[in-house]
Structure 1
Amino acid sequence: MIMTPALRRHSCYKIMIALAMVDIMVIPINAILSGVFLLLGISYCNCPTLVYVVGCAALALWTGACALCSILALNRCTDLLCNNFHKKIFNGSKIYLWLLFVFLYMAYFFFFTNPLLFSALYSAWFFDPFVGISDQPDVGFDNMPHLVNNITAVVILVVLDSTLFLRIIRKIPIAKERVGHIRTQVTLQVALIGTLAIVAAVIYIIMQYISTPYSVIVVGQLAWQAGHGAASFVYFGMNNSIRRAIKRVFWDIIPPKNRAVVATVSRHT
């Protein structure tokens, strides 16, 4: 629904579309394949090629999502706090330069860094293929660019999301207008999605370097899954523009002779 022309002309929705594409590609990995690997007891040692390739994709998509969430938060902050600066860096074709950067960033992690490897023992992804054999993870397999990515994403999202929340709580003057209400809605959505990314990023940093309780690892894995899977529910639940677009699509599907019945039922429910 966010690909409708009316929404697509806004730079924030272009970023949301890119983020949605990443979500669609990563959910089969971090949710479905992770579940299959867990049920079958698959780890790097007994299926190295498959786990390696899937891990490369998982890492690239995760870092791409971090970059997109950070850019989206920056987009909302500049739109609310300094609209002229926002237009200079996001309007027109400039948004595509941001998206090109994200694509190259993902390609770097896919081809040039150590991949994440699934551990059936912990139901999550680690850089150490022998995790669980010793008391502490082997940092010799760590991925420093991934560490930098997660720390940077956490810092950016905490700062920008906190700024967004404070701005909303203070009830900015433009929030009384319709345009301001729409901006506030989109900003809240961005902050909620960013919060899930922060939780996943922090836990995934900790568990790569420190012996972490299984329950905390599971929370990190679920936060990673929710960060990608919850976006559609957040958009649908909090974004009036997307809800209206969905209604229009389904309204066009309903045969004309049945529309009066649907409208009557809607008024009485």
Structure 2
Amino acid sequence: MEWLLAAHGDVNSIHNFNCNDKYRTPEEYTQKDGVPRPILGYIDLLYGTIIMLLYVPCLMVMLQKENIRLSCFKIMFLLGFVDLCAIGVNSVTTGILLIEGAVYCSHPITIFVTGALGLGLWCSACMICLILVLNRVLDILFPTLVKKYFSGSRTTMVLMIPVLYGLYFCFLTPPLLFTSKYQAWFFDPFIYADKTLEYQNYPHTANNLFIVVATCMLYGYFCAAIAKQFRKRVESTNKRSHTQIFLQSTLICLVNFVAAMIYVYMQFFPVADFVIVIGHISWQLGHGCPAFIYLFMNTTIRSGVSKIFRIKIGASVHTKTATVSTVYHQGGAAAHHSAHHSSSIH
């Protein structure tokens, strides 16, 4: 984004991002270099719309006075807001571009700006997830430390770290750029042949390799410690519940890890089209899964949403189980970015 601002909005003034007037109009770039993919495009649009509709009431519940006062809900709200914005890039915007069959030179300014935002959101979400898992670990295993680092306004101060982290990637590193030919986002605009390495975003690669892997490892430690802690004092019914939560969280972490690693790999090496699609879907699921987790597995948020829409929940949940489930699901939904999508994010 810094390059675009320095060029006063003229992308053709940016070195290696000049479309070179190969064709005269955006439509010609689409027709000559792009591949319209209406089916995939409408699927992305539908998915993005559904996730947004599910996420908004979850965020409303998080903002309720009794919830937002807690450090974990403050972190979850920021993560949810970032997810919502990211879905606007990787699903809604991507869907529109796929339907058209657009490439970078079809809409250079729009794709440049959107790609920069998507990259910043992805990296910010990675950092927020790391902080959320750390918050859960401290809260459950080291309660005195969570009070030291996350009490009162300290949580807000801590959350400035991922905000600034995301802004760094958005404004000071190369953006992601869309091409319908490969139905995903790459750092290479595919204007010139054999220049892929000149467009690489190495800070992004470091983010995916370090932050994502660190979050997965930390979350694995968290789950193992909690399982050990409850093994001797939780009823068998609750043990099964904890096992299910652990498996669900592990799957979410795995989805994001796959996305992150695929996006890093495909920036440097040629891969089959289906691998690119898997990477992009994993990116979308990483930002979208938490909405389903909050609504269907997080007792606090599910109850709050049901009150907003005046929906009666049929089954009652034992207080102790509900409390434990809430703690676990907050960690689980947090894990979703743990391995974030990558190049395009990612």
TM-score calculated relative to the size of structure 2: 0.66
Distance 2:191 2:256 in 1: 24
Question: 1:41: Cα distance to partner?
Answer: 1.3
Once structures 1 and 2 are overlaid, which stretch shifts more, 164-173 or 121-130?
164-173
Matched, 1:67 2:127: yes
Distance 1:14 1:175 in 2: 30
**AA aligned opposite 2:206:** V
Equivalent position SS for 1:121: coil
Question: 1:172: Cα distance to partner?
Answer: 2.6
**AA aligned opposite 2:298:** N
- Alignment correspondent of 1:90: 150
- Alignment correspondent of 2:113: 53
Mapping of residues 75-114 of structure 1, within 5 Å: 75-114=135-174
Question: 1:126: Cα distance to partner?
Answer: 0.4
For these two proteins, the number of residue pairs brought into alignment is: 249
Matched, 1:118 2:178: yes
Question: 1:174: Cα distance to partner?
Answer: 9.4
The sequence identity of aligned pairs, in percent, is 37
C-alpha distance after superposition, 1:47-101 (max 9, x if no partner) = 2111101111111111111111111111112222222122211122111112111
**AA aligned opposite 1:3:** L
- Alignment correspondent of 1:35: 95
| Deviation >4 Å, runs of 4+ | 131-134, 187-193
Structure 2 unaligned spans of 5+: 1-60, 316-346
- Alignment correspondent of 2:219: 161
* Change in CA separation of 1:73 and 1:196 when aligned onto 2, cut-off 3 Å: farther
TM-score calculated relative to the size of structure 1: 0.83
Mapping of residues 212-231 of structure 1, within 5 Å: 212-231=271-290
Once structures 1 and 2 are overlaid, which stretch shifts more, 222-231 or 196-205?
196-205
Equivalent position SS for 1:118: strand
Distance 2:86 2:155 in 1: 23
Distance 2:229 2:179 in 1: 46
Is the 1:154–1:202 contact (alpha carbons within 8 Å) kept by the matching residues of 2?
Answer: no
2:302 maps to which of 224, 243, 247: 243
**AA aligned opposite 1:16:** M
Mapping of residues 122-141 of structure 1, within 5 Å: 122-130=182-190, 138-141=196-199
**AA aligned opposite 2:116:** C
Question: 1:203: Cα distance to partner?
Answer: 1.1
Distance 1:84 1:171 in 2: 17
Is the 1:165–1:191 contact (alpha carbons within 8 Å) kept by the matching residues of 2?
Answer: no
Is the 1:15–1:68 contact (alpha carbons within 8 Å) kept by the matching residues of 2?
Answer: yes
Once structures 1 and 2 are overlaid, which stretch shifts more, 196-205 or 52-61?
196-205
- Alignment correspondent of 2:76: 16
Alignment RMSD (CA, Å): 2.7
C-alpha distance after superposition, 1:30-59 (max 9, x if no partner) = 011112111211111222111101111111
